[in-house]
Amino acid sequence: MSNQPIENFNWEELENKKKFADATFSGAKEEELAKLYEQSLSQINEKEVVTGTVVSITDRDVVINIGFKSDGLVPLTEFRDMPDLKPGDQVEVYVEKAEDQNGQVQLSRKKAKLVRAWEKISEAYENDLVVEGIVKRRTKGGLVIDLYGIECFLPGSQIDVKPIRDFDAFVGKKMELKVVKVNYSNDNVVVSHKVLIEKDLEEQRQQILNNLERGQVLEGVIKNMTNFGVFIDLGGVDGLLHITDISWGRISHPSELLELDQKVKVVVLDFDEEKKRISLGMKQLTPHPWDSLPEDIQVGSRVKGKIVNVADYGAFLEIMPGVEGLIHVSEMSWSQHLRNPQDFLKVGDEVEAVVLTLDREERKMSLGIKQLTEDPWTRPEIPTKYAVGTVHKGIVRNMTNYGLFLELEEGIDGLVHVSDLSWTQKIKHPSEFIQVGEELEVKVLEFDLENRRIALGHKQLQPDPWNAIEERYAVGSTHKGKVVNVNEKGAVVELEENVEGFCPKRELTKEDGSLPKEGDKLDFVVLELSKGERRIVLSHVKTYTPEDKVVEEKLNKKEENKVTLGDLEELSNLKEQMEKGKEQGKK
């Protein structure tokens, strides 16, 4: 390009135009134009959502004109849901700041979407509107729903009117919902799908209830199962099928015959219109098994079956589904003393029994097991085998306060009275001497074949030691003893040969003034012995108090009270008795 000046250029005309422009845009004209420019710009407020126009798109940002004096930039990542975005498109953005330090407006599409989402959720909540969301994932207790970009919680109990067991089946699917709770402070939204279903079912439910009658046969689906029965959905109305009405036979849990989501036919047994409770039955759709009980089953017949229940009083034997007979515990063994039925039978045992009674009208049957074997009391050798004086061994089967029952053999029991367990020990309960299940040797004391009773004794296996005790434990003699029990009245003392004596509290004090404890071994003096009452009275105090001093104290006491001839004779006898006891103690 040439740097030579332009020839023939009209410099005068250019100067005139400049003067005209200065005159036109100076003063009031300039202010007026500035005012018009300001009015052409949009009035925007911070923290609100506005609509803008896409001016251009770069690799990182989208330039948006919101009618302000400067354009705003929004990261391109906030438009991932708009892959076809192009200049000229209208979009909503959130004004974070009208003008930053660089004089540029700060915008956010992400926040604009959140604001609009909360507005829609609030509108749906306040106006009870139906909205549509997408199930994002499963969470503890329910599902997470994407509603306008906001994560909402759908509790498991609000998914359907029937219990849902597979939450994963809903992930990724669209679902119509209603907003039932909004907590703006915690950004917490709870939705429900169940409320939509309930409204649809209300009319159907009312129609079913209006047409419901006892004896009506319906079809339903098992929606829940418990130990006591199953709940069946009859098409919007639930009914209870109790476990006892599922089958004529005995079952321990409904899952033995039924399963969840199974379609079943049931009959209406009862209906409470006020409480809207429906009792259903299934076994009632089939004939009662007792009606098909074979005629050849009579009293005396032998039947086989399975034990289905064991109670304290006996066991129930099912001889065919729905037909049971009771085996009372007294019919399980020839033993006269009742035992626990669980000692003989348990659930699931297959046994044979004899029909003892049968009432087809009342549908009752009693059975017996012991009748399958011979009655041991009818055997001819029993009276000789258990004659008085014979010695036997048996197993302790049961105890009472007054004694224990000993099983000598199957069906033959005998009673050992508590007083016949020991010659020397004072036993209040048999458990102090022996335990159930242990073996005990006994002697027959009485035998009554007619009443099937045998009286037994254990102590009779040994001679009565009290015959020798009278001489061994003479009054005044001293013996070693072990304190086995201490009470308010004194102490029980165990002497040699399992002989027990009693030491009164006043005679129990040690020489240092203290009282002995259980387990202490001390010397004791015999104060009194009664063979008839089998009683020995002891004293520990006398072991450290001189005998002469005792006599002297008694003499002094009698002197103070004017000793009589009879008193002197009593003291003389006392001294003589104590000396005799001392000599025997030395022996």
Query: If pLDDT is split at 50, 70 and 90, which confidence band does 162 have?
Result: confident
Alpha-carbon distance 292 to 363, whole Å?
Answer: 12
**What pLDDT does 353 receive?**
94
Alpha-carbon distance 565 to 579, whole Å?
Answer: 21
Query: If pLDDT is split at 50, 70 and 90, which confidence band does 53 have?
Result: confident
**What pLDDT does 18 receive?**
60
Alpha-carbon distance 313 to 325, whole Å?
Answer: 13
Query: If pLDDT is split at 50, 70 and 90, which confidence band does 416 have?
Result: very high
Least-confidence region, from 234-243, 268-277, 364-373, 481-490:
268-277
Residues whose CB is less than 8 angstroms from the CB of residue 106 and which lie 6 or more positions away in sequence, other chains included: 72, 95, 96, 97, 100
**What pLDDT does 424 receive?**
75
DSSP 527: E
> In the predicted model, is pLDDT for residue 291 greater than 80?
yes
Residues 249-259: tens digit of each pLDDT: 888 899 989 99
**What pLDDT does 579 receive?**
59
Say what the pTM is. 0.44
Alpha-carbon distance 207 to 229, whole Å?
Answer: 25
**What pLDDT does 578 receive?**
56
Residues whose CB is less than 8 angstroms from the CB of residue 337 and which lie 6 or more positions away in sequence, other chains included: 397, 398, 405, 413
Higher-scoring residue by pLDDT: 113, 210:
113
Query: If pLDDT is split at 50, 70 and 90, which confidence band does 535 have?
Result: confident
| CATH code that applies to domain 44-110 | 2.40.50.140
Query: If pLDDT is split at 50, 70 and 90, which confidence band does 23 have?
Result: low
> In the predicted model, is pLDDT for residue 114 greater than 70?
yes
Q: Taking residues 146-174, what's their average pLDDT?
A: 86
Decide yes or no: CATH 3.40.50.300 for domain 128-197.
no
461 — phi, psi (to 5°)? -70, -20
DSSP 380: T
Of 449, 358, 250, 478, the C-alpha closest to 501 is 478
Query: If pLDDT is split at 50, 70 and 90, which confidence band does 552 have?
Result: very low
Residues 425-469: tens digit of each pLDDT: 778 899 999 999 899 999 999 999 988 899 999 988 988 777 777
Query: Are the C-beta atoms of 537 and 505 separated by less than 8 Å?
Result: no
Tell me the CA distances in angstroms from 101 to 67, 72, 97, one per residue in order. Answer: 19, 13, 10
Least-confidence region, from 66-70, 312-316, 397-401:
66-70
Among residues of the chain, what percentage have pLDDT more than 70?
A: 82
> In the predicted model, is pLDDT for residue 39 greater than 80?
no
Q: What CATH superfamily is the domain 466-543?
A: Nucleic acid-binding proteins (2.40.50.140)
Of 585, 582, 587, 581, the C-alpha closest to 480 is 585
**What pLDDT does 231 receive?**
92
Of 236, 140, 135, the C-alpha closest to 193 is 135
Query: Are the C-beta atoms of 307 and 345 separated by less than 8 Å?
Result: yes
DSSP 515: P
Query: Are the C-beta atoms of 234 and 278 separated by less than 8 Å?
Result: yes
> What angle (nearest 5°) sits at the alpha carbon of residue 78, between those of residues 74 and 81?
135
**What pLDDT does 581 receive?**
52
> In the predicted model, is pLDDT for residue 37 greater than 50?
no
Query: The tokens of 131 are what?
Result: 């909205």
**What pLDDT does 1 receive?**
45
**What pLDDT does 24 receive?**
52
CA atoms within 13 A on the CB side of 412: 22
Q: Which amino acid is at 45?
A: N
Residues whose CB is less than 8 angstroms from the CB of residue 167 and which lie 6 or more positions away in sequence, other chains included: 138, 142, 143, 156, 159
Residues 325-335: tens digit of each pLDDT: 999 998 988 87
Query: Are the C-beta atoms of 116 and 92 separated by less than 8 Å?
Result: yes
Q: Which amino acid is at 27?
A: G
> In the predicted model, is pLDDT for residue 218 greater than 70?
yes
Residues 331-369: tens digit of each pLDDT: 988 876 767 888 889 998 999 999 999 998 888 999 999
Cβ-based neighbour number of residue 117 at 10 Å: 16
Q: Taking residues 471-499, what's their average pLDDT?
A: 88
Q: Which amino acid is at 506?
A: R
**What pLDDT does 102 receive?**
66
Of 494, 422, 501, the C-alpha closest to 465 is 422
Alpha-carbon distance 88 to 2, whole Å?
Answer: 44
Higher-scoring residue by pLDDT: 149, 135:
135
**What pLDDT does 421 receive?**
92
The pairing of beta strand 439-448 with beta strand 453-457:
antiparallel
Residues 172-202: tens digit of each pLDDT: 999 998 898 988 778 889 999 888 887 767 7
> In the predicted model, is pLDDT for residue 515 greater than 80?
yes
Q: Which amino acid is at 472?
A: R
**What pLDDT does 391 receive?**
94
Query: Are the C-beta atoms of 434 and 404 separated by less than 8 Å?
Result: yes
Residues 473-486: tens digit of each pLDDT: 888 899 999 999 89
H or E segment at 330?
A: none
Q: Which CATH topology does 297-372 take?
A: OB fold (Dihydrolipoamide Acetyltransferase, E2P) (2.40.50)
The pairing of beta strand 277-281 with beta strand 238-242:
parallel
* Dihedral, 194, 195, 199, 202 alpha carbons, nearest 10: 70
Mean pLDDT of the chain: 82
**What pLDDT does 22 receive?**
58
Measure CA 475 to chain center: 64
Alpha-carbon distance 20 to 127, whole Å?
Answer: 65
Query: The tokens of 399 are what?
Result: 């105890």
| CATH code that applies to domain 376-461 | 2.40.50.140
H or E segment at 568?
A: helix 565-586
Tell me the CA distances in angstroms from 353 to 40, 238, 319, 357, 365, one per residue in order. Answer: 108, 43, 10, 12, 11
Residues whose CB is less than 8 angstroms from the CB of residue 13 and which lie 6 or more positions away in sequence, other chains included: none
- Architecture of the domain whose range is 212-285: Beta Barrel (2.40)
Q: Taking residues 47-62, what's their average pLDDT?
A: 82
Strand stretches in 140-246, DSSP E: 142-147, 150-155, 174-183, 188-192, 217-225, 229-233, 238-242
Residues in the chain: 587
> In the predicted model, is pLDDT for residue 559 greater than 70?
no
Strand stretches in 198-262, DSSP E: 217-225, 229-233, 238-242
Alpha-carbon distance 285 to 247, whole Å?
Answer: 10
Alpha-carbon distance 172 to 177, whole Å?
Answer: 15
Query: Are the C-beta atoms of 335 and 410 separated by less than 8 Å?
Result: yes
Alpha-carbon distance 377 to 370, whole Å?
Answer: 13
